[in-house]
Amino acid sequence: MLRFEVLSASPETPWTIAANLSYDDVIDRLERINQTFGLDIATIHDEALYSKSYQPKVQEEVVIFGGNAMLENAIQKADDRNLEAARQIVQQAKVYLDAFFQLHPASEALKKLYQNLLDYDAKLAQMKDMSQTEYLVAQKMSKFSSYSARRKNDGQRLKPDFLTFLRNSCFYLPKKLNMQGKVAIITGASSGIGRALAFRLGQKGAKLVITGRKPAPLEETRAELETNGIEVLALIADSSQEADNARLVEATLQHFGRIDLLICNAGISMRALVEDLDLDVIRQVMDINFYGAVYAVKYALPHLLASQGTIVGISSIAGFRGLPARSGYSASKFAMHGFLEALRTELLKKKVHVLIACPGFTQSNIRRVALTKDGQAQGETPRDETAMMSAEAVAVSIVRAMEKKRRYLVLTRQGKLTVFLNKWWPALMDKLVYNALAREVNSPLS
Q: Which residues carry out catalysis?
A: 329
Output the 3-class SS for 52-74.
Answer: CCCCHHHHHHHHHHHHHHHHHHH
Mention every residue, 6+ apart, whose C-beta is less than 8 A from residue 444.
Answer: 271, 272, 273, 276, 325, 373
Give per-residue burial for 414-427: e unless 16+ CB within 10 Å, then b: ebeebbeebeeeee
Distance CA 127, CA 125 (A): 6
| Interatomic CA distance for residues 53 and 427, integer angstroms | 55
